[in-house]
Structure 1
Amino acid sequence: MTMRLRISSRLLLLAAAIGCTNGDSPVAARDASLNGGTLVISVGGDPDLLLPPLTATTPGRLVNALVYDRLAEIGDSLNTVGDRGFEPRLARTWEWAGDSLSIAFNLDPKARWHDGKPVRASDVRFTHRLYTDASTNSPFATVIASIDSVSVRDSLTAVFWFGRRSPLQFFDAVSTMSILPEHAFTGVTGESLRTSPLARSPIGSGRFRFVRWRAGESLELAADTGNYRERPHLNRVILTIAPDFNTALARVLGGEADLLEQIPVTSVAQVSADPDLRALPAAGLEYSFIQFNLRTPKNDSPPHAIFGDREVRRALTMGIDRKRIVQNVYDTLAGAAVGPTVRAFSTTDTALRQIPYNPEAARRILDSLGWRDADADGVREKNGRALRFTLAVPSSSKARVNMAVLAQDQFSKIGAKVDIEQLEFAAFVDRETRRDFDAVFGSWQSEASPGGIRQTWGSQGSRTGGSNFGSYENATFDSHVDSALSAM
């Protein structure tokens, strides 16, 4: 498997006394005195798209979560097995078939799209087809592969059909897909989705309506005051878009914004000293990693000249002291993860055996493979090619930039030269999705269920359209994942 340097840490920077409750309480929703105000969120880059089947960036997903609705939402217990604890959204109720191979979702008749048209079961069926259509090229298609089809029983009843029973059937049906308005997508398919007006001006059914997006400046949402789930307490949510992370932090420190996710450890003391700000630690679902491209950049056929060799990847992994790097950057606020998962999941086995940090063994392996420093310049060569590669890092992530510098130094000590390429976030995502890289310092925000691993590390997600950008493929790994998820 590709070498991953993993962390799982998150800090939320909140302005004190922000009233950002969701209004799910009927009493709170009817109390107009609780309504009003604007929440300004500082982000270190523009969203990529505002189209849920294709959105890859954190700012984009944040906007989608406010503008669109799912059929149901996972509850506070974070249970993903069966339907216990899930909270109704577009679906008011649901019924399982006696054989558990279908689930009928009964939609709320009051639900409306932001253009005033009613939400119907045909929208649910359309959404499933759009997510799974090969021409859409959605990275989430593999996540909902367990759903055979969606049919319409009547205008307010959508039925999900499954080929086999699974503990995650309900989660798969409701967690991945934000329901989309079929009427708004007439004539928009395939590659045209990315350039359609809907990718920048979404029409949803959520509690906030899209207002405007000024690229590089701001994105504004307004309360949907007639929403079927009652209006939100806030009048507006504004994303103030900074060119980099340092500027995003400065805007909160300077009082220009109310909230920022993931502040660096070096800024905690400064934030704590400000009486108007609160730094709140939270158990994170995020992990970061160095991902090797196993195939030639931009070409999904020939193996990479360096990373196509499993033993080279193993040697490079042994040359990295992950615990030391994470501790250096995060102090006690994060730890080196045990795999492509996070400790917040009760299913994570924290005793998994790791590839050890052993630079001496790494040097011996590279020697045995013919990678030697013949000219004594500190960089190994083989057949005229230097053991040298470029590591792409988003400049908006100070933590990843710092970890990349530390990894660069450690790689050099086993004879590998690493060139760090800092990219603006949108450019970084573009390079990732086009597989145009040697190695990337990536990061994933895990779904509430471990099942998302199929999309990010499974063979199904390794080709164009999936999110396994390093093209790691291993049938044994896939089989173990399938067995584990079935046993949950």
Structure 2
Amino acid sequence: MLPQRMLVAALLLVPVPGAQGPQGTGDHGALVFIMGQEPASPVPTALQSSKANADISDLLFLRLARPGPGLSVADEKTFEPQLARSWRRRDSLTLVFELDPRAKWHDGTPVTARDVVWTFDRTRAPGADPQRALLLRYLASATAETDRRVVLTFRRAYSAQFFDATYHVQPLPAHLVDSIPIGRFAASQFVRQPVGNGPYRWVRREPGRLVELAADPAFFLGAPKLDRVVVLVARDPEAQINLLLDGTADAYEAIPPVWGPPRIPRNSPIRLLAAPSFSVAYLLFNQRAYGDRSKPHPVLSDPAVRRAVTLAIDRATLVRSTFGAYAQIAEAPVAGPQWTSSLVPKGPPFDPAAARALLRERGWADRDGDGTLDKDGVPLALRLNLPSTSAPRLTIAPQVQEQLRHVGIRIDIVRLDGPVWAERRNKGEFDIDFSSATLDPSPSGIVQSWTCAGRSGSNVGQYCNPAVDSLLDRAIYSTRRGDAEWRAAYAALQRDYPAVFLASSSSVFAIHSRFRGVTLRPESYYADIWRWSVDPARRIARDGGGARGR
């Protein structure tokens, strides 16, 4: 098996079948970037998606429109056209979209209203995608009035209605997928070889190693300047940074904020950018029994114990030592760039004495003198699952273990390979899961993981409080800004202690300095790489020839 450096060099010398245009000339080039997760099924809308899958699907598939630079989710005038060239309102419940006639699928077939309507209908179909269906629960219908006109009708008027209409669904080619049953879609040939309508088209995937994309020179919004894009899969944090340092890769979005930057030599062609993100890290409590959701968790179903764990953790020290200046303490499942971040009440303080008192009140005591509290003969011992690919989580977990030891809680750290960690998380096979979620630009995405309705999907901790659901519903579907409603909802959720919210962080993004026009969108860092170019005087071998630069 070829080492990754040789593999990348070899595949970038192979012509892509059907490629056209001025590849390998002027300011064109290639981009190789690193991912810790494998984008094994980067097909949007009809599959539940990881961040890696979503990042690649954003290069293959467009939305009707996307939020503008300010990321407003309520002002539809600021949205940027993608598949829809224009839109208008008929009334407070009805949106009309006119599709761009230039938009085509990568097989040459025009994008039509049928594609859009089919995808909306499939997304909301039972068993297809419960999480997106939850976000679209107030969409009444999607209809095609002509080949180019789509009408979306809602049951309720609310401020983020346009965002919901455009963000959650990326249309799929109905002529290729409408015959695939829901239950067979994930294993279909289309998922293995997706056909999109975006700036890049699918070339190949080598499982566990890489994904390759090629520019679509006929892309209707403008031909990309980066002709080839290669994603290298590297799960070990040390291997990730070494691929960057030895020149195998050009970019990596997750340089460890404290120990990573000093590893970059001063004369390196790599530059570092602070990139805002919608990422939130937290310790998620499983409120049902380990691996058995029919029973309550014997320890963590008690909110007093969850509160004690939270009070015993010094979040400020954890965030400072792990992220430096690149993060702030999270007080709820809210990221810094979300407009509601300033409305979140301050969370619980670090108070280990109060944690010990709470545990005593609940009957926990060290009866055998081993340093671990027990109750009814059962030790207060909890398993903390985390992926071995995440440098920040690997740094924080031992500190959490030590801090909780001081109040008599034993934490067993369970480090797992990424896919195994995700599988156990989804099955509820954890006591505490060290989670990191990439949130939607709209705060309404909170319903996926923190409401009763989300328990069939990404609410793997099985947190459920109908009173919180009601408060969130009022906040999300307010016809005005709703500051008071959001404050009340966040405060109610905090009082239940469903997780220890740790950090809302920025990414330390490493990128080779030969690239020009680099912009990083917080919700999708790579979505605009088709607009990037290469300095002609600094092109390197994988850019297609010319001068070798640094």
TM-score by length of 2: 0.80
Task: Give the superposition deviation at 1:32.
Answer: 11
Q: Is the 8 A contact 1:106 1:157 kept in 2?
A: yes
Deviates more, 1:73-82 or 1:34-43: 34-43
**Alignment counterpart, residue 241 of structure 2, candidates 245, 249, 258:** 249
> In structure 1, the residue corresponding to 2:78 is in which secondary structure?
coil
**Alignment counterpart, residue 214 of structure 1, candidates 193, 196, 206:** 206
Question: Partner of 2:109 in structure 1?
Answer: 117
1:331 aligned partner, one-letter code: G
Give identity over the alignment, percent.
Answer: 33
> In structure 1, the residue corresponding to 2:411 is in which secondary structure?
strand
Question: Partner of 1:414 in structure 2?
Answer: 407
Q: Is the 8 A contact 1:43 1:241 kept in 2?
A: yes
For 1:247 and 1:172, how far apart are their aligned partners in 2?
A: 39
Within the alignment, does 1:471 sit opposite 2:480 as a pair? no
Q: Is the 8 A contact 2:213 2:230 kept in 1?
A: yes
1:366 aligned partner, one-letter code: L
Within the alignment, does 1:431 sit opposite 2:424 as a pair? yes
Task: Give the superposition deviation at 1:57.
Answer: 2.2
For 1:198 and 1:297, how far apart are their aligned partners in 2?
A: 36
Question: Partner of 1:345 in structure 2?
Answer: 338
What pairs up with 1:363-402 in 2 under 5 angstroms? 363-402=356-395
**Alignment counterpart, residue 34 of structure 2, candidates 24, 42, 48:** 42
Within the alignment, does 1:106 sit opposite 2:92 as a pair? no
> In structure 2, the residue corresponding to 1:301 is in which secondary structure?
strand
Task: Give the superposition deviation at 1:183.
Answer: 1.8
The one-character-per-residue Cα deviations of 1:437-477 (angstroms, maximum 9, x if unpaired) are 221111111211111111121222122xx211111111222
Question: Partner of 1:15 in structure 2?
Answer: none
Deviates more, 1:47-56 or 1:237-246: 47-56
- Once superposed, what is the RMSD of the aligned Cα atoms? 1.9
> In structure 1, the residue corresponding to 2:169 is in which secondary structure?
coil
The one-character-per-residue Cα deviations of 1:33-81 (angstroms, maximum 9, x if unpaired) are 7652110011123124222132432221111000001000111011110
For 2:171 and 2:344, how far apart are their aligned partners in 1?
A: 39
For 1:409 and 1:274, how far apart are their aligned partners in 2?
A: 39
Relative to structure 1, is the Cα distance of residues 156 and 345 closer, same or farther in structure 2, using a 3 angstrom cutoff? same
Equivalenced residue count is: 457
> In structure 1, the residue corresponding to 2:131 is in which secondary structure?
coil
Task: Give the superposition deviation at 1:82.
Answer: 3.2
Relative to structure 1, is the Cα distance of residues 250 and 148 closer, same or farther in structure 2, using a 3 angstrom cutoff? same
The one-character-per-residue Cα deviations of 1:341-387 (angstroms, maximum 9, x if unpaired) are 02222322366131221111111111111122111111111222221
1:167 aligned partner, one-letter code: S
Relative to structure 1, is the Cα distance of residues 49 and 86 closer, same or farther in structure 2, using a 3 angstrom cutoff? same
> In structure 2, the residue corresponding to 1:70 is in which secondary structure?
coil
For 1:436 and 1:197, how far apart are their aligned partners in 2?
A: 31
Question: Partner of 1:19 in structure 2?
Answer: none
Relative to structure 1, is the Cα distance of residues 104 and 392 closer, same or farther in structure 2, using a 3 angstrom cutoff? same
Task: Give the superposition deviation at 1:261.
Answer: 0.5
For 2:427 and 2:173, how far apart are their aligned partners in 1?
A: 29
Question: Partner of 1:143 in structure 2?
Answer: 135
For 1:119 and 1:252, how far apart are their aligned partners in 2?
A: 38
Deviates more, 1:201-210 or 1:466-475: 466-475
**Alignment counterpart, residue 199 of structure 1, candidates 191, 208, 216:** 191
1:312 aligned partner, one-letter code: V
For 1:142 and 1:150, how far apart are their aligned partners in 2?
A: 16
1:482 aligned partner, one-letter code: D
Question: Partner of 1:163 in structure 2?
Answer: 155
Relative to structure 1, is the Cα distance of residues 351 and 143 closer, same or farther in structure 2, using a 3 angstrom cutoff? closer
> In structure 2, the residue corresponding to 1:191 is in which secondary structure?
helix
Question: Partner of 1:73 in structure 2?
Answer: 66
For 2:48 and 2:474, how far apart are their aligned partners in 1?
A: 29
1:467 aligned partner, one-letter code: S
Deviates more, 1:130-139 or 1:68-77: 130-139
Deviates more, 1:325-334 or 1:399-408: 325-334
What pairs up with 1:233-272 in 2 under 5 angstroms? 233-264=225-256, 265-271=258-264
Q: Is the 8 A contact 1:102 1:161 kept in 2?
A: yes
Task: Give the superposition deviation at 1:123.
Answer: 1.0
Within the alignment, does 1:277 sit opposite 2:285 as a pair? no
> In structure 1, the residue corresponding to 2:164 is in which secondary structure?
helix
**Alignment counterpart, residue 328 of structure 1, candidates 317, 321, 324:** 321
For 1:326 and 1:418, how far apart are their aligned partners in 2?
A: 19
Within the alignment, does 1:134 sit opposite 2:134 as a pair? no
> In structure 2, the residue corresponding to 1:283 is in which secondary structure?
strand
Q: Is the 8 A contact 2:337 2:441 kept in 1?
A: no
Task: Give the superposition deviation at 1:392.
Answer: 0.7
Q: Is the 8 A contact 1:216 1:243 kept in 2?
A: no
Question: Partner of 1:362 in structure 2?
Answer: 355
> In structure 2, the residue corresponding to 1:414 is in which secondary structure?
coil
TM-score by length of 1: 0.90
Runs of 4+ in 1 over 3 A off after TM superposition: 29-35
The one-character-per-residue Cα deviations of 1:198-252 (angstroms, maximum 9, x if unpaired) are 2222111001000000011110000111122222111011001113222111101
> In structure 1, the residue corresponding to 2:214 is in which secondary structure?
strand
What pairs up with 1:7-46 in 2 under 5 angstroms? 36-46=28-38
Segments of structure 1 that go 5 or more residues without pairing to the other structure are 1-28
**Alignment counterpart, residue 178 of structure 1, candidates 151, 170, 173:** 170
> In structure 2, the residue corresponding to 1:477 is in which secondary structure?
helix
Question: Partner of 1:315 in structure 2?
Answer: 308
**Alignment counterpart, residue 218 of structure 2, candidates 216, 226, 232:** 226
Relative to structure 1, is the Cα distance of residues 158 and 468 closer, same or farther in structure 2, using a 3 angstrom cutoff? same
2:314 aligned partner, one-letter code: D
Q: Is the 8 A contact 1:67 1:205 kept in 2?
A: yes
Q: Is the 8 A contact 2:23 2:29 kept in 1?
A: no
Task: Give the superposition deviation at 1:146.
Answer: 2.4
Deviates more, 1:403-412 or 1:142-151: 142-151
Q: Is the 8 A contact 1:72 1:175 kept in 2?
A: yes
Q: Is the 8 A contact 2:139 2:155 kept in 1?
A: yes
